[in-house]
Amino acid sequence: MGEEFYAIIKLISGEEILALTCVDEESEDPNPSLILHNPVVMNMINHPGGASYVKVKSWLELADDDIFILKYDKVVTISESRDEKIISIYNKYIEESHNETVRFNSSHIQGKVDVSSDMGYLDSVDSARKKLEDIFKMNTKES
């Protein structure tokens, strides 16, 4: 077996997948194989506001296996990925998908995020209402 590397693979079907890949150099087959570990499909999603997101999903969503063999004749091109951000997203996805405690109805998987002060969240509704009422009462006493 050859050395493992992160590869972006363009298939003849048009799909682009990312996987931890190894070339089967020991095979005597004239058409060598690629061994793919946890292949995923990653898509860039651009929002009108200028933000970009990466959507990650399993290449074969219903398969129980995480290792696949792919013949070279099904590949258009292979590119080794050294992009640390992409590799980090890939590894986080793999880690979370193998974590049995992840629920499919959790807010993280549905794409929801917790609101923080960085997003403009300053207070709870009840607390903000009380502060505004106090300001209103102070202003009406002064008038």
The answer to whether the CB of 45 falls within 8 A of the CB of 24 is no
| CATH number (domain holding residue 135) | 2.30.30.100
- Convert the pLDDT of each residue in 91-114 to its tens digit: 999 888 866 544 444 444 455 666
Instruction: Tell me how many domains the chain contains.
Output: 1
- The closest of 21, 18, 60 to 42, measured between CA atoms, is 18
- Convert the pLDDT of each residue in 127-143 to its tens digit: 888 888 888 888 887 76
How far is residue 103's CA from residue 133's CA, in Å, rounded to a whole number? Answer: 41
* Domain region containing 42: 5-142
Residue 20 or residue 138, greater confidence = 20
- What is the pLDDT, as a whole number, of residue 24? 83
Residue environment code for 22-33, b if the CB has 16+ CB neighbours within 10 A, otherwise e: bbbeeeeeeeeb
How far is residue 83's CA from residue 42's CA, in Å, rounded to a whole number? Answer: 13
Does residue 41 register a pLDDT over 90? yes
For the ranges 107-111, 115-119, 122-126, the maximum mean pLDDT occurs at 122-126
- The closest of 10, 11, 3, 7 to 20, measured between CA atoms, is 7
- Convert the pLDDT of each residue in 66-93 to its tens digit: 899 999 899 999 999 998 989 999 999 9
Percent of the chain clearing pLDDT 90 (strictly above): 34
